[in-house]
Structure formats: C-alpha cells, structure tokens
Copies of this chain bind each other. A is one copy, B any other.
C-alpha cells in the first residue's frame, strides 16, 4: 500500500511511466536537468508555473497537482514551528470567515 506522498514522487513516477528522460522534460520546462532532478527528489521547490507546465507535459490532473504543490508550500512555511498546526487551523478559520463575509458582495 505505497502512497505518493510528495509532489516529487508523483512527478518522477509519472515521468518514468511515460518513458521520458529528465533531459527531455527539463528541456520542455526550460531548465537544466539538475533542477528537475532536484525537484523530483524534493531537494528544491518548483515554481508554480513549472507545476502547471509539468501537469501538461506529464498529463497529470492540474488541480490536484497544484493543491499538492500549495500544501507543500504551506508546510514549508511552518516547518520546525511548534505552533504550526494551530496556526493552520487559525488560517482555515480566517478563510471560512472571509467566505461567509463574501455574501455582502
């Protein structure tokens, strides 16, 4: 019951499924293979634009990939923060509060 946890694993798995080389995908992305290699192994973060492109290149669901991407970005922000989980919950509450406010508009 293995799961794709990180966006990097998702990307690598799909790239290999499609039989593409780092070099090939990197060329389409317009970066050096070194970067894509690092993204796939989680050593570097991708830019959102690159995630969008990768979804297209690898024929992955774009929304799912972006959600994955954003969630990693969020987690990165609160890494090593003891109060991170509480902050996440507060952030959610704030979003919800704003949503209900939108009724006015």
Contact = CB atoms under 8 A, between A and B. Distances in A.
Interface of A: 5, 63, 66-71, 73-75, 77-78, 81, 83-92, 94-95, 99
Contacts of A85: 92, 95, 99
> For the complex formed by this chain, how many copies does it contain in all?
2
Contacts of A84: 70, 95
A48 B81 CA distance: 11
B83 A88 contact: no
Contact of A87 (B74, B90, B94): B74
Contacts of A89: 92
Nearest to A69: B87
Chain B CB count within 10 A is highest, among A78, A91, A94, for: A91
B71 A90 contact: yes
